[in-house]
Amino acid sequence: MCSHPVGMRHRLIAGLAVLGLALTPLAVAEQAQRAPADPSAHLSCTAPGDVPSLDRMLLRAGSPLAGEAATFVRAGTAHDVDPRFLVAVAAHETLLETYPPAREIHNPFGLGPGIVYASEEAAITAAGAILAGGYLAEGRTTIATIAPKWAPVGAANDPTNLNTHWTIGVSHYYGALGGEADSDIRLSAQTGDLTCGTPATGGLDGSMVWVWDGRTPPASGPEGVDGGAPGGDPARPGSFVFPVAARPDQPVTYLPPACEPDGPCGVSLTLAPGTPVVAAAAGTLRAASADEQTDGIGFWIDAGRDSFGYSALAEYAPQARDGARVSAGQVLGRPARDLAFHWRQDGHAINPQPLLRATRPATH
């Protein structure tokens, strides 16, 4: 299967391309002025097979794909691809086909370059088959492993190197839809533990799982205490769920972060009594060391490069034990009142407050 060079990228990414065809500088400026709005404003956490919710999102985005949610689900189910991943690719490649040149050839995925499809249904069906036969069959089951073939860096028809942003861009939209950007995108690999209304088990009526939509948290500076990652860029997790499942009307207050040089950097959240505490990412529970417990950390969730630390809880769910594997959004227990929350990436302490605020603003 040949690679599939990209179409238009997110408008915040430097440069534009028309389905793999290079543009002159003047054309780039003109296209930038006409670029549609970021569709992530219209995407929200949804179950993989929720046709009505997907169609409502596509309609809100003004996408020509509105009405095709059932096609996304049908194509995904037939080829063991999470339908939300197909939507995420269309969002990144052509802004859900709101980009005019893509709309004219009914090609929301940047397939080609320049493949013309008879309809959006035909394009979605083809994309599902291409992913199954040319990617999943080769063991390319994550965004990071699909990217080098779908959008190879250095491709001849990508003169502005837009392909370098493919993994970040698709992950951004997949996260907005409730997918885990670092996980297997096959439909059969989805655990179903993350639901977008209430936690799967043990939640209070009306409690919400708040999913980070993939937008870069607004760090105040380059250091970890500012929310910066090693190297100075704003820190971004692989995926993230707000660590408590509060109701929309339930207040959550952030106290100023307590950070020490070369030491822990945690934020305290003041919660209503009994608010469910949930896993911030899929990973493995690990009990804190004696020194970490002195710093107020009871346990960690190790999730690849990221580790998320929690203070000890007043009550633990039966499955919340050292060494247990948890899913994003899974209920871990309940705090006494306050919950201390920490974030480490590649072993470096990062102030989690920008990420928390980007996922769910504080309320009073």
pLDDT at residue 10 greater than cutoff 60: no
What is this structure's pTM?
0.52
Which is nearest to 185 in space by CA: 40, 284, 107, 79?
Answer: 79
- CA distance between the termini of the chain: 54
What are phi and psi for residue 289, nearest 5 degrees?
-75, 170
pLDDT of residue 197: 38
248 C-beta neighbours (distance < 10 Å), count? 10
When the pLDDT of each residue in the chain is averaged and rounded to a whole number, the result is 79
Which is nearest to 325 in space by CA: 167, 183, 147?
Answer: 183
Residues β-bridged to residue 265: 259
Which is nearest to 180 in space by CA: 350, 320, 73, 48?
Answer: 48
- List pLDDT tens digits, range 133-181: 999 999 999 998 999 999 888 777 666 667 788 888 888 788 778 787 7
Q: Which domains does the chain have, with CATH numbers?
A: 25-189 (no CATH), 224-359 (2.70.70.10)
